[in-house]
Structures are given as structure tokens and as C-alpha cells.
Amino acid sequence: MMQIAEQLLENALQVHAMDILLLPFGTLYRVKFFIIDQYVEQGELSVEEAQKIITFFKFKADMALSEHRRPQLGAWMYQQKVYLRFSTVGDFLGRESLVIRLIYPLMENKINYLVKEQQSIFQTACQNKGLILFSGPMGSGKTSAMYQLVKSLAKKQVMCIEDPIEIQEPEFLQIQVNDKVGMDYTTLLKAALRHHPDIFIIGEIRDLATAKAAITAALSGHLVLSTVHAPGVYAVVERLLNLGVNKLELQQVLQLVSYQRLLPLINGERGVLFDILSGEKLFEKVVTSDLQQMTNKWREELEKCLHARQITAQTFQHFLKG
């Protein structure tokens, strides 16, 4: 069974999957990979096969083998290739499911900019102190974009505070949130300021406390990069204001916001496209009849990709609204 489990990992690595899922389905288990922004079926296993594989991974991750119902978390470094993070939970029938998150080294998460000028826009914004925010759905490459952007700057002291860590980068000081022992975003940010970092990467702004901490760090003269859940670039500022952020303080520190998607390319690769707002446009009130969350520039860049035969017409239509 060890060979089957390791082959599963190797298959996932070959397609650069973000997650491996073993999920009970009737009298079988389904195996899926999460790749880019979709789940791809990999086949089925018998209950006995799936349970043996789950047990193997739990053993490697130092998780309780006798516990099948309560949620468990674990981790394992696989052959010095990739860091694996495990999560198990049992359903009401006692069937245990497993999700494996694959955390790749930064060098294996290279961002392929479809519009090269967009990389320059980000790099210019990073020359100033303040707050830069990234948005986009899960698997769109937000963390990779932040890490590679910071990595491209002149040598700086970088501190990352995430829940959980998603990319390995030995040159950055990476701290993982642990609410159970009082290590939340706010507490860690306050402690991190004493290390005098030049740049902060904050995994995600989910609540008012984290938003205030990020803004405070930016106001104190740091460059802060973080992510926010929003359906489009126009919704990023609105999301922060709805959390209760002080608008005047936000105006003082916010440099740029973006929304991004990973697009499948005709050549089989993947490319990232950003929708970007900066300057006075950040706080413009945009009113459209169809609640459009993307700028006109987004459509223009998509059309250029289509005409350059980088993407298919189907991909163009799929990503037209973000």
C-alpha cells in the first residue's frame, strides 16, 4: 500500500496539484486532484484500499491512528520534494476522509505573467511603503504572486505570517498562526514589529482585527502585502470598509489592489492575468447595471490573449467576468 500511496503523490506532483482528496462515496472512495481552479477525478478505491492509504499517511504525519471521527491535522516532508499538510475528519457513518495540501518550494511556483507590464506595475508599487492587496479565488496563485514579487526586490528582511504557510522560502522568516496557543494574526504582527522587518506578507485579512493590524504596520513605515476574499477588483476596498476599517487610514496606506485568475493556455501551460486598481481609482464608486466587478481593462487584456492565440474562445468566455 505504501507504493500506491507514493505513486498517488508522484502523480499529483507531475501535474502540480494543489490538493489530493480521498472522499467516501457510497461503497467506494473517490480520488480527486485540485488543479488550478477545478477538481479532476483520478479514479476510485475500495473502502479497504482507501483506509489503508489514509492510515499510511496518518502514520507518516504523526496523527492518531485510532481516531477516525474527530478532525485531525498533520504534516510530512516527502522526500525533501514537497511539504505535505494533512487534514482528516469522519462523517456521520464513521467514514474518514483525507485532504492533502501540497506545499511547493517557491522556485516551483513561478508566476507566468500573461501581461508583462503588470509585473512592472507591482514592482513600482513595492518601491513605496504601504499596503498592497491581492484577491482571487482559491488556487489562483495569490500567495505565489506575493512571494515572487517580494523575492524580486532588492534584498530585504521579510516576515511572513500565514494560516497556514503555503510556500517554503528559507530566506523569509515564516510564522504560522496558531489560535489555540494565542498566536493569532494580531498578536504575531505586534511581536513581529520588534524584529524590524522591511516587508510583511500576511496570509489573509479575514476580520477587523487583522485588517487594523495590517494597516497599523503600513502606517508605521512598512510595506505590507496581503490577500482579501472579494469577487472582483472593485469589491476589495468595499470588503475592507464592510469589516469596519477606517476609510481615512486606508486611503493613507493603500497603494494597489488586484484580482487575479490562472488561465489554462493553448500550449498546455498556465498564465496569470491581473485586474489592477491604483491611485485615485481605488476609491472611485463604480455603479453598473450588472454589478460588474471587473474593469474594462480586464476584458481588453483577455481579448489580446485570445487574438494572440494564447487562450481559446471558451476560456475567454469563462473568465470574462472574472
pLDDT in tens, 56-73: 999 999 999 998 888 998
The CATH code belonging to domain 116-319 is: 3.40.50.300
Q: Are 303 and 315 in contact (CB under 8 A)?
A: no
**Is the CB of residue 124 less than 8 Å from the CB of residue 117?**
no
Torsion of CA 122, 127, 131, 132, to 10 degrees: 10
Say what the pTM is.
0.81
The residue ranges of every structural domain in the chain are: 1-103, 116-319
Strands (E), the chain: 19-25, 28-35, 38-46, 72-78, 82-90, 96-103, 130-135, 158-162, 173-176, 199-202, 223-227, 254-264, 270-278
CA atoms of 65 and 188, how far apart (whole Å): 32
Dist CA 261 CA 37 (whole Å): 9
Residue 289 has pLDDT above 70, yes or no: no
CATH class entry, domain 1-103: alpha beta
Q: How far apart are CA 103 and CA 176, in angstroms?
A: 14
pLDDT at 1: 67
* pLDDT higher than 80, residue 93: yes
- Above 60 in pLDDT, residue 287? no
The SS3 call for residue 264 is: strand
Whole-number Cα distances in Å, 164 to 88, 146, 178, 193? 16, 15, 9, 20
